[in-house]
Amino acid sequence: MSSITSISPEVASAHHNYLDQLLQPIRRYLDGIEVNNPKMAHWLCQLIPAQCPFERDIILFGHLLFHIPPMCKLNPFYEQFIGLRFRALTFLADVYGEDVTRYC
């Protein structure tokens, strides 16, 4: 007997494909942003973190109670934001010769 709350793989796949199609224009827009201004590049490097700020280990008296996984991967635009940050870092390092280690 099937549960009312269960979703068949076909329905889940169709929902996922539909969501991807809806988000695709925003992904293309983010991928198309060109970084050609040092002020904008600095702002992007400060705004977009180098690593996911939500991943944590909860430790009590030296024992790991639980682990909170990185939530950034749940963001549907995660790869686009990381790419944008990389383009900003590359712009600052290659065009302006700046030391970008403070953003790493």
Query: How confident is the model over 16-27, as pLDDT tens digits?
Result: 688 889 999 999
Find the largest Cα–Cα distance for the chain.
Answer: 65
Cβ-contact 2, 9 below 8 angstroms: no
Give the CA distances from residue 49 to residues 1, 18, 61, 87, 95, in Å, rounded to whole numbers and listed in that order. 47, 29, 30, 14, 22
What's the one-letter identity of residue 50? A
Tens-place pLDDT, residues 31-79: 999 999 999 999 999 999 888 777 788 889 999 998 888 878 788 999 9
18-31 in b/e burial notation, b at 16+ Cβ within 10 A?
eeeeeeeeeeeeee
Residue 8 has pLDDT above 80, yes or no: no
In 3D space, the residue among 76, 84, 88 whose CA is nearest the CA of residue 26 turns out to be 76
For residue 14 the two structure tokens come to 């169709």
Q: pTM of the full predicted structure?
A: 0.72
Supply the mean pLDDT for the chain: 85
Residue 63: per-residue pLDDT: 92
Percent of the chain's residues with pLDDT above 90:
56
Residue ranges of domains in the chain: 9-103
The pLDDT value given to residue 16: 67
